[in-house]
A and B are shown apart, each in its own frame.
Chain A
Amino acid sequence: MERIDTYPTHLRGGFKLRPGRPYPFGATLVPGGINFSVFSRHADYCVLVLFEKGKTEPMVEIPFRGMFQRAESGDPVWGDFRIGNVFAMVVFDLDYEDIEYGFRMHGPYPRVERGRPGIHRFDPSQVLMDPYAKAIGGREMWAEEPDWNKRYQHRARVLHDDFDWESDRPLEIPMEDLIIYEMHVRGFTQHPSARVRKPGTFAAIREKIPYLKELGVNCVELMPIFEFDEFENRRVNPETGKMLLNYWGYSSVGFFAPKTGYAATGKSRDGTMVADELKTLVKELHRSGIEVILDVVFNHTAEGNEDGPTISYRGIDNATYYMLTEDGYYQNFSGTGNTLNCNNPIVRSTVLDCLRYWAAEYHIDGFRFDLAAILGRDPRGVPLANPPLLEALAFDPVLGKCKLIAEAWDAGGLYQVGSFPAYGRWAEWNGQWRDTVRKFLRGDFGQVGKAAQRLEGSPDLYGERGPTASVNFVTCHDGFTLADLVSYNEKHNEANAEDNKDGTNDNTSWNCGWEGATDDPSINRLRRRQMKNAFAMLLVSQGTPMILMGDEVGRTQCGNNNAYCHDDELTWLDWTLLETNQELFRFVKNCIAFRNGHPVLRSNLHFRNEDYLGTGYADITWHGTRAWQADWSEGNRVLAFMLCGRHARSGTAVDDYIYIAMNMHSEALPFEIPRLPAGKRWHVFANTSRVPPDDVSDPGAEPPLGDEAEFVVGGRSVAILVGRDRRTTPT
């Protein structure tokens, strides 16, 4: 039956209107028209501004309150299209593919000049982007200089939400089985060597799905894809004179819109195909068994501090959206100028609406929250014991199966690794895994005990939450790549135009004897081995491993540990590395396959350190150069452990025995190996001190170990043995 509210009641300037519905917020296609809805607690008057797509001057401005004409008679009539603090109006007969829209907000406070503090920043001369915009124009082509004369730079568009998903749905891969590949949408395929039709786009990633499949990862974590402004960072590279961009995009313009410049369809006349292109990518990745996690940035926006641009939020309701000091300055817990007021109830519901939208409309499998500790601060910035936003996310029905991963710290000094309010749902980027393993890897003293905790899933940090709370990583976008971690002692960020002051000084790296690239074969051998050691530890560790894009082929950023502003060969993945570093790629690929083949490496419960099944072996046992005698002393750099396959997944799965020996001492050492039950024999899966192809086997085809009692592990090397039935040994 047809609804009775689909006909115009009012006219204004030739446009047919009727009072709108406050929910959902944003612009929604309704029969015959578009429902526009926007909230502001403090504004007292609002005007809808409609543009023909791309035009500088508006096509029409329609207030939400004032004198209109009756639709049926043309007689004058008063109208007030507002319910509570929500302005809502339907405009009929719009060509929704060819319009952009915004709002002007009037408030009862004096206008605040740019650069000055203010609790409210209403400025009716400024057209404001809808915080719920589902598509945003203005930056259609990546890095194409916009028309700066346009006062309305980031332009809300109307989008079709529907999509032909066929049978697709989120994959719901258990956290313990996940292997995350952290990648930059543009950087993954922009390099000419990628040889794709539309480099740097969502569409191009589809062409590289076979690569991801071959590597063996089952989840991609996309660095920010919410619309951002690559032009916000207007500095010049002192080495090349080239304009620096915000390449990473940790600076949201709009939370509901995919980055138009990442879409091959971004420049198309109908600029709303961007959503279809991204959904097609998600569907194709799912079809290949690969989940999609989005790196989401809710801690701040692209509006910056008092000096920043007015795009949307500050002009719509500054005091609601941002954490402010009493005299109206922006709080800066994000280190980027402002802090979104996430535990204000209105902003909280915006964040929830946003994530539900991505989960429901884009079939996104999970979210990684940038500087998530901020999300646990109250409107004055004080850390909350029971943060309502984090709790709401954890219990949200639509997000019920989504992965929620916190970067559990912020730039204001709140560090919550191991203590992030989890509600049984949240996982964390385990920064301590990274720090400890880096120290252990480079041979620091005093790391063996801590490394043991990290490798068994950090029960000291996540005792109640289990190993799946721990996302383990050696490297991520922030900091050195793995190749640089073993090639540089110091950061080299001069090209960022901040006098090498940006980026962390705490890299816990070791250059293996020479700072930067070298022809010295012994140094390069050692670096390759160290990279393999890092991957070996990552991929046998309990918890969820995360790999940084390109580390599997030794991607370098030439020592730059904060390459957020470089959109060139420094940050793009060079696909020729796949040939140059084929040895490393094969090692990583096989380690991933080994992990995927062994459930004992992927437990969702912590080990109990006991033999609760009567197998004769505890679920995990620790060893040193002497079997059964781990050396936990400060001066030791050696650790080995054995996993009992019969305890795999708490005894619910049957697996082989696995023994891992890590010798981070510079000299080779003999390891006494624990004896296996009768009928089983040790086989060598990996030994990073050996040259290819003996550095790693194809899983299932491991050669038997010659001497079952003692095994010499080279200096700075990792060996992985697998204990299984003699009869299954390949000949």
Chain B
Amino acid sequence: MAFNATLEVTDRKIARITLSGELDAAAAPGFRAEIEKSAAQQAKRLVLMMRNLEYIASAGLRVLVFAKQKMGAACDIYVVAPQEQVVESLELTGLRHSLVIMREYDAAEIENLA
């Protein structure tokens, strides 16, 4: 399935990117562009909606590392509702500990910017 990434940034500077399809080497530059846009808008939170993301390849994982570096330590990155294969890839390649993984969108936690 073709990859798609759509970005919306709330007025409280929460950047939400909804991902679907397969995040492979061909798709990675598109995802990266959305991350750059989020950073340009000085997002305080990056939320990656992954329910419909079916596959993540090395190139996709690298965009997550890029996101971590681009957004800075002050911006938490949330991964919402990832599929099992995606979680496993994050786990085995050591990325899991630098992301917050949640099964459902938890507005109370994500939108609490106090």
Contacts and interface: CB of A to CB of B under 8 A. Distances in A.
Interface string B76-114: 000000000000110111110010000000000000000
A203 interface: yes
Interface in A11-65: none
A164 B62 CA distance: 8
A284 B58 CA distance: 19
Interface size class of A (residues with CB under 8 A): 20 to 34
Contacts of B24: 95, 97-98, 270
B77 to A, nearest CB: 13
Interface string A245-274: 000000000000000000111001110110
Nearest to B25: A97
B94 A284 contact: yes
A231 interface: no
Contact of B55 (A265, A269, A284): A269
Interface in A270-298: 270, 272-273, 276-277, 279-280, 283-284
B55 A95 contact: no
Contacts of A279: 94
Contact of A164 (B55, B58, B68, B89): B68
A264 B92 contact: yes
Interface size class of B (residues with CB under 8 A): 20 to 34
Contacts of B95: 164
Q: Is the interface of B mostly helix, strand, loop or mixed?
A: helix
B93 A162 contact: no
A269 B59 CA distance: 12
A690 interface: no
A198 B92 contact: yes
Nearest to B68: A164
Contact of B92 (A95, A265, A272): A265
B2 interface: no
B33 interface: no
Contacts of A203: 91-92
A96 B59 CA distance: 10
A160 B59 contact: yes
Interface in A219-265: 263-265
**Which residue among A95, A162, A263, A270 has the maximum number of chain B CB atoms within 10 Å of its CB?**
A270
Given A95-B26, A96-B25, A97-B25, A160 B58 contact: yes
B62 A162 contact: yes
B26 A277 contact: no
B93 A160 contact: no
Contacts of B65: 164
Contacts of A283: 94
B61 interface: yes
A277 B25 contact: no
Interface in B40-91: 55, 57-59, 61-62, 65, 68-69, 88-89, 91
A478 B57 CA distance: 39
Nearest to A284: B94
Contacts of B61: 273, 276
B58 A270 contact: yes
Contact of A276 (B26, B55, B88, B94): B94
Contacts of A96: 25
A268 B61 CA distance: 13
Interface string A195-223: 00010000100000000000000000000
B59 to A, nearest CB: 6
A268 to B, nearest CB: 7
A282 to B, nearest CB: 10
A270 to B, nearest CB: 4
Interface in B1-42: 24-26
Contacts of B26: 95
B89 A273 contact: yes
A722 to B, nearest CB: 41
B66 to A, nearest CB: 9
A98 B57 CA distance: 10
A95 B25 CA distance: 7
A160 B91 CA distance: 18
Contacts of B89: 265, 268, 273
A198 B92 CA distance: 10
Contacts of B92: 198, 203, 263-265, 273, 276-277, 280
A559 B62 CA distance: 48
A272 B59 CA distance: 10
Contacts of A265: 89, 92-93
Nearest to A160: B58
B79 to A, nearest CB: 16
Nearest to A277: B92
B14 to A, nearest CB: 24
Interface in A84-104: 95-98
A273 B61 CA distance: 9
Nearest to A271: B58
Nearest to B69: A164
A199 to B, nearest CB: 14
B93 A97 contact: no
B62 A97 contact: no
A490 to B, nearest CB: 44
Nearest to B66: A164
A196 B57 CA distance: 24
A296 B57 CA distance: 29
A280 B93 CA distance: 6
Contacts of B58: 97, 160, 270, 272-273, 276
A160 B95 CA distance: 16
B96 to A, nearest CB: 10
B73 to A, nearest CB: 11
A97 B94 contact: no
Contacts of B88: 264
Nearest to A159: B58
Nearest to B98: A164
Interface string A429-457: 00000000000000000000000000000
Contacts of A164: 65, 68-69, 94-95, 98
Closest 3 CB pairs of A and B: A280-B94, A270-B57, A276-B93
17 contacts: A95-B24, A97-B24, A97-B25, A97-B58, A160-B59, A160-B62, A264-B88, A268-B89, A269-B55, A272-B58, A276-B92, A277-B92, A277-B93, A277-B94, A279-B94, A280-B94, A284-B94
Interface of B: 24-26, 55, 57-59, 61-62, 65, 68-69, 88-89, 91-95, 98
Interface of A: 95-98, 160, 162, 164, 198, 203, 263-265, 268-270, 272-273, 276-277, 279-280, 283-284
Given A164-B95, A203-B92, A276-B93, 6 more contacts: A265-B89, A273-B93, A276-B58, A277-B93, A279-B94, A284-B94
